[in-house]
Amino acid sequence: MLRWLKNVGYLTVKELRSLFSDFVLIVLIIHLFSLALYIIASMPTTEMKNGSVGVVDNDKSALTYQLQDALIKPTFKQVESISVEQIDQNMDKGKYTFVIVFPPNFEADTLKGLKPQIQLLIDATAMTQASVGASYISQIFNQEIAQALHTNAVNSPVEIVTNVLYNPNYYSDWLMSTMQIVGSSTLLILLLVGAAVIRERERGTIEHLLVMPVSSSEIACAKIFANSLVILVVSTLSLIFMVKMVFGLPVAMLQIPLFMVGAVFFLFAISALGILLAIIAPTMPQFALLCIPAYMVMYLLSGSTAPVDNMPELARFFSQFLPTTIYGSFIQYVVFRGAGIHIVWLHLVKLAALGAVFLTITLVQFKTMLSRQG
């Protein structure tokens, strides 16, 4: 066992030297976990953010102030009070997307049940923001008025209380950035370990390994360890500096070690699969044609682009056996909810089991390939 570990250590160092000698590949790795992650997580969405609101308050009552205070950041900017004469001028200049006009005696008429009307003026040149923002304002005002009247909008005997946990402001970039780590890790580890095997075969250096006193398991595990180590370090740094610092996701530093443990199990499973695909495909172009569809299927069924519960029953069942789905759920538990090992241990067991299955098949096929090569 000691000799096996020693041989794996030497071969791992060889793989790391080969990897770090490829400058273009290093730039690609850094790009995927930094700039590419930022671009994808910051893509335009239909969410309402920083909507500019002006208010003409002809009532100046407690209820109108309550409604204004309900329009809070980050959905809306600080509400500004204006006069009727300033409406056209400010909207023509694009200063406000929304202008709300409260009529006189608004609170008194509301308490009497007269249903006074609020005028909402919208600059529809920003079409998506105008539509979504109008819906937000309508929902917020209905909730606040219902609360003020100690009833609800539909006079239902059931009082609905909504609590938003873990992402109360509905930041899409929090989810997109963390799920992009899953996608980038999957794609890179597949390409790196697969390319490492094919590169040995195409350059003829695999014959050098065959005359050395090393086994097929030592060669395969060295490629897995070396490439997984690089992705583990880069993904952890991306979580700390991009997701936590740039996007502001409140990740507790105590959760970082558990995140790394999950990443180790995930990278172990995917890298074993990558070597298996490289054994099946004899050349790099064929490996790419095999790798990309495998990556797309795993990523689309991982819950990163659509919730797993919204998928057809067959796809939902199949996704439970994919490392990306398990790892994506693991990250959401650990990063968003601060879950401990007692909650996510089953995710680790599943990843370890999948990795063991992939590695067993890979070692059998890898040994067969080496014997043919020899």
Q: What is the structure's pLDDT at 157?
A: 46
Which residue in the block uniquely carries the two structure tokens 């409406």? 87
Strands 98-102 and 119-122: antiparallel
Number of domains in the chain: 2
Asked whether residue 136 is domain-assigned, the answer is yes
Last residue of a domain, one of 149, 181, 207: 149
CA atoms within 13 Å, Cβ hemisphere of 42: 11
> According to the model, what pLDDT value does residue 356 have?
93
Going across the sheet that includes 80-81, the strands are 80-81, 53-57, 98-102, 119-122
Domain boundary among 149, 179, 212: 149
Structure tokens at 368: 């067969």
* Domain final residue, candidates 98, 116, 149: 149
Separation between Cα atoms, residue 108 and residue 104, nearest integer Å:
9
273: buried, middle or exposed (CB in 10 Å: 19+, 13-18, 0-12)? Answer: buried
- In this prediction, residue 221 carries a pLDDT of 87
Residues 36 and 63 in one domain: no
**304 near 328, Cβ under 8 Å?**
yes
| pLDDT given for residue 181 in this prediction | 94
Q: What is the pLDDT of residue 270?
A: 94
In a domain, 161, yes or no: no
Asked if residue 363 and residue 241 are part of one domain, the reply reads: yes
26-56: b (≥16 Cβ within 10 Å) or e: eeebeebbbeebbebbeeeeebbbebbbbbb
Among 249, 68, 87, 267, which Cα is nearest to 168's? 249
* Beta carbons of 271 and 228 less than 8 angstroms apart: yes
H-state helical runs in the chain:
2-20, 23-32, 35-41, 62-69, 87-92, 106-111, 127-148, 172-203, 206-210, 216-238, 256-280, 284-300, 313-319, 323-331, 337, 341-373
CA–CA separation, 186 and 274 (whole Å): 10
118: left (phi over 0), alpha (psi -120 to 50) or beta: beta
Strand, helix or coil for residue 44: coil
| Shared domain check, 137 and 236 | no
Residues of the chain under the 50 pLDDT cut: 152-154, 156-158
Residue 89 pLDDT: 85
Q: Which pTM does this prediction carry?
A: 0.76
pLDDT attached to residue 44:
63
pLDDT at 37: 92
Measured in whole angstroms, the distance separating CA 41 from the mean position of its chain's CA atoms is: 8
- In degrees, rounded to 5, the angle at the alpha carbon of residue 215 between the alpha carbons of residues 211 and 221 is 125
Determine the Cα angle at 372 with ends 186 and 214, to 5°. Answer: 70
Please state, in angstroms and rounded to a whole number, the distance separating the CA atoms of residues 113 and 211.
91
Residue 88 inside a domain? The answer is yes
334 in the same domain as 187: yes
What local confidence, expressed as pLDDT, does residue 283 receive? 84
122 and 189 share one domain:
no
The tokens describing 97, both together, are 């997307």
Q: 331: domain range? A: 1-44+171-372
Provide the CATH number for the domain around residue 89. Answer: 3.40.1710.10
Q: According to the model, what pLDDT value does residue 115 have?
A: 82
**Token pair belonging to 360:** 């067993």
Q: Helix (H, G, I), strand (E, B), or coil: what is residue 54?
A: strand
* Domain match, 68 and 38 both: no
